[in-house]
Amino acid sequence: MKFKLSPYLLGFQTLLLLGLVLVSLGLFYYSNGIFYLIDWEFLTLNSCVMTMTFIFDWMSLLFVGCVFLISSMVIFYSESYMCSDLYKIRFYFLVFLFVMSMMMMIVSPNLISILIGWDGLGLVSYCLVVYFQNFKSYSAGMVTILTNRIGDVAILLSIAWMFNYGSWHFIYYACSYESWSVYLILLIILAGFTSSAQIPFSSWLPAAMAAPTPVSALVHSSTLVTAGVYLIIRFSDYLMVFDTWFFLMISMMTMFMSGLGANFEFDLKKVIALSTLSQLGLMMSILFLGFKELAFFHLLTHAFFKALLFLCAGLMIHCMSDSQDIRHMGTMISYLPLTCCCFCVSNLSLCGLPFLAGFYSKDLILESMLFSYHNFFVFIVFFVSVGLTSCYSLRLVFYCLTFNMNCYSCQGYFEDKIMNGSMFLLVILSVISGSLLGWIMFDSPHMYSFSLELSVLPLIFVFLGGWLGYESSFFYFEDLYASSMYFMTLFMGSMWFMPSLSTYMLNSSVLNFSELSYSIMDGGWGEYVISKSSYLWSSLLSSFLVIFQENNVKLFMLVFLLMIFLIVI
């Protein structure tokens, strides 16, 4: 009997080992202040030298290690999730290529190599979104790749603009401020906003839920959507001399809009996608307030519990005959106890419940915001958004796990050992990663002195939002849709009409023009008159010459007889 090693298990073991090594190395580099730049000279031709540069500091190693740990769990989970798929090996290599593209983007101090990883993320994400080949997946994939192409153009323009510096290694110029540096940072922020789906580029993030659930766990935790945040963190030294109030406002509006929209959504994966968008808005907001370490801290803690949330949701969707509507779920705690425990841990960590991973980063972010002397509008939006996070998270828990018995009578509930095994490490990290990273990254603790009311205000909003989420679980939105507030409800529940603005407005003008151009040029006479004219004339001339070559004796005799005839006449 031959032993056949699954590529999924091999990839899981490799990435898990690499992730543990890189995380340990990153913590060692941080504690000792080690920083390495490695130049790999891969081509020398006469006096032309081409090198590839990699940066290995605590931030890049820690992030790559976390990406590898999450990817190993996702690949191990996919061994069972994709077992009945005909092309599961193709899926495995696409996921592996996706992870390698993210690694390339993280360890690059050079805009050229960043573009290679960035383009790899965009291309592979399109292949994964359209993996289930249907019309909805194709549409979602097209919105995803076209939105991210805007970021590619911004990075290309940044590369062209960095000719002014003399090198594309941005880390050499992180503290050099010129009058025209504002153009470079504007282009980088545009690229980061497209990848992290900030307003007005938010519509692609829920649409990308057409991908398989393991891909969603990877995309929404540590790869594509976090690439924009990580890129701006790397360029954050440029932000110190600029007034970023406009970008702060956009990030806060993204955080508020997605938190509000998640309370009106009934698709399980879209609710989790909108929660990702809310947390991305939180990271961007605190980054533009000037706290890049806090943004990176929340980036890491969020990656663990968001990946766990998607893995639990994937198993629930499998058990519900692939239905993603939370109104079809209910009382799942009786059939999937272990999965529901993991689901609750990740949701409560997302809410910021004390002593879970999300609490350490979110509470520190709110206290730093309170201490940054911004206006009352910033204060209100931050705290209301935290309350909305608790609201939709508790609404999701009560809809899926306890009451609302609307599931089909014939339902196959199962808890797979491989799927549950992939959740164990993420559950542990969702509990301890906040305190562990907080102790290591902030060796001197942040000391803020507030009044009692301000100290307990984050917890008040967390518990108030949870109570509202519990109450909204019993509320049927059909009554609200039928009322006079129909337009307002539709506006808040559809991401402020952003999907419509991203798609339908283009149909009437741009696509009609492209169809007209195609019918005139490629599908009309232009194809023959312009595109194929040189080919037609050359082929006509060659065929004429071939006639002469193949019939030269006949033609010679014919011309001779014609000349005789003319002479006689």
pLDDT band at 138 (very low <50, low <70, confident <90, very high): confident
Average pLDDT over residues 370-383: 84
What is the rounded CA–CA span in Å between residue 87 and residue 91?
A: 7
Q: What confidence score (pLDDT) does residue 1 get?
A: 41
What is the rounded CA–CA span in Å between residue 362 and residue 352?
A: 6
Please give the full DSSP string across 446-480, using - where no structure is assigned: ------HHHHHHHHHHHHHHHHHHHHHTT--HHHH
Average pLDDT over residues 384-398: 87
Q: What confidence score (pLDDT) does residue 215 get?
A: 86
pTM of the model: 0.84
pLDDT in tens, 151-161: 899 999 988 88
Q: What confidence score (pLDDT) does residue 261 get?
A: 86
- Among 362, 250, 258, which Cα is nearest to 305's? 362
Q: What confidence score (pLDDT) does residue 526 get?
A: 64
pLDDT in tens, 300-319: 999 999 999 989 888 888 88
pLDDT in tens, 77-107: 888 888 877 888 888 899 999 999 999 999 9
Residue 170, pLDDT > 60, answer: yes
Between residues 22 and 88, the one the model is more confident about: 22
Q: What confidence score (pLDDT) does residue 3 get?
A: 44
Residue 134, pLDDT > 80, answer: yes
Average pLDDT over residues 49-58: 85
DSSP secondary structure code for residue 57 in this structure:
S
pLDDT in tens, 192-233: 999 888 888 888 888 888 888 888 888 888 788 888 899 999
pLDDT in tens, 235-248: 888 887 788 888 99
Between residues 179 and 83, the one the model is more confident about: 83
State the number of CA atoms in the 13 A half-sphere of 428 facing the CB: 8
Residues in the chain: 569
What is the rounded CA–CA span in Å between residue 63 and residue 25?
A: 11
CA dihedral 447, 451, 455, 461 (to 10 degrees): -150
Q: What confidence score (pLDDT) does residue 411 get?
A: 67
pLDDT band at 461 (very low <50, low <70, confident <90, very high): confident
Instruction: Say how many Å lie between the first and final Cα of the chain, rounded.
Output: 97
pLDDT band at 148 (very low <50, low <70, confident <90, very high): confident
Residue 323, pLDDT > 70, answer: yes
Q: What confidence score (pLDDT) does residue 299 get?
A: 92
* Helices and strands of the chain, counted as H and E runs: 25, 2
pLDDT in tens, 446-459: 777 878 888 888 88
Q: What confidence score (pLDDT) does residue 405 get?
A: 64
Residue 443, pLDDT > 70, answer: yes
Residue 17, pLDDT > 90, answer: yes
Structural domain boundaries in the chain: 23-242, 253-290+318-476, 530-568
- CA angle centred on 468, ends 462 and 469, rounded to 5°: 85
Residue 59, pLDDT > 70, answer: yes
Are 51 and 42 within 8 A, CB to CB?
yes
State the number of CA atoms in the 13 A half-sphere of 172 facing the CB: 10
Are 152 and 228 within 8 A, CB to CB?
no
Bond prior to 337 in cis (omega within 30° of 0) = no
Are 438 and 297 within 8 A, CB to CB?
yes
pLDDT band at 480 (very low <50, low <70, confident <90, very high): low
pLDDT band at 434 (very low <50, low <70, confident <90, very high): confident
Percentage above 70 pLDDT, the chain:
90
Instruction: Tell me the backbone φ, ψ of residue 41, rounded to 5 degrees.
Output: -90, 100
What is the rounded CA–CA span in Å between residue 78 and residue 429?
A: 20
Crossing angle of the two packed helices 357-370 and 337-351, in degrees rounded to 10: 10
pLDDT in tens, 514-535: 777 777 766 666 666 666 666 6
Residue 2, pLDDT > 50, answer: no
Q: What confidence score (pLDDT) does residue 527 get?
A: 65
Q: What confidence score (pLDDT) does residue 20 get?
A: 92
Residue 60, pLDDT > 50, answer: yes
Residue 512 CB neighbours (<10 A): 11
Largest Cα separation within the chain, whole Å, is 126
